[in-house]
Amino acid sequence: MLLAIDAGNTNTVFAVFSPDGELKGEWRASTTGARTSDEYGVWLLRLLELEHILPSDINAAIIATVVPATLHSLKVLCDRYFHTTPLVVGEANVKLGVEAKIDNPQEVGADRLVNAVAANAKYGGPLICIDFGTATTFDVIDHDGNYAGGAIAPGINLSLEALHMAAAKLPRVAVERPAKVIGTGTVSAMQSGIYWGYVSMIEGMVARIREEFRADMDVVATGGLAQMFCDATSIINWTDRDLTLRGLYLIYQLNKG
């Protein structure tokens, strides 16, 4: 079985795939560079046990991280607890099957490249992939499936926190879809501005990308808050919760020989 690890800025996702690509389990931990391999190991082994997966069942691993401080502990985790040397997305020996057609390919986050691989394999280009994470990213996949660039905006939770921290009288509010655009109180006004403002940003960015790319591109959304926004706009064609994990599985399959 394959252990796939996606270390994002907020959460690190661990998933196990069977050889034929079936997702056998998925678990999340908060991302911190201070967490040791043993802390990961004790936590993960217990979760695997609950799904009747033995450490000896894991014979391969792949890691994508946008937090460099986590990489050492995750590599040691794979070696010490599963006796396997992981592939690491972004290292020179790991093939992606797609090309990053931007000014400096080394600048692209591993998660964005992995999403591009999975999105092209499942939906085909040209395509816009929106990832609702710590940042909200818009990634462009061209007709040949290559990564062609994109845009990065603050994630909705970051925006809410910044609004609360910078304005003394504004409270911390939850992310939810308000019934009306026009708020009749401070909380409802904040929720409307954040939620409907993000919907407008999504629609505006997609329209501008399509115009600049000169193609009627479909849109796939992933990330924890994707479904909340998909329900509010018709501009998003698909929601794919496991897009990044699926991309890791595909990259491993490409490299396992």
Question: What residues are labeled active site?
Answer: 111
70 is in an annotated binding site: no
Asked if residues 41 and 29 have their Cβ atoms less than 8 Å apart, the reply is no
* Other Cβ atoms closer than 10 A to 170: 15
- Residue 137 among known ligand-binding residues: no
Q: What are the start-end ranges of the H helices in 181-222?
A: 186-213
Residue 239 in marked binding region = no
Q: Is 124 annotated to bind ligand?
A: no
Q: Is 7 annotated as a binding residue?
A: yes
Q: Is 156 left (phi over 0), alpha (psi -120 to 50) or beta?
A: alpha
- Asked if residue 167 belongs to a known ligand binding site, the reply is no
Going by C-beta distance under 8 Å and a sequence separation of 6 or more, which residues neighbour residue 167?
none
Is 60 marked within a binding site? no
Half-sphere exposure of 33 (CA within 13 A, CB side): 7
Q: Residue type at 90?
A: G
Q: Residue with structure tokens 């909200």? A: 136
Per the annotation, does 10 bind a ligand? yes
| Residue ranges of the binding site for ATP | 6-13, 134
| Residue ranges of the binding site for substrate | 109-112, 186
| Residue ranges of the binding site | 6-13, 109-112, 131, 134, 186
| Residue ranges of the binding site for K(+) | 131
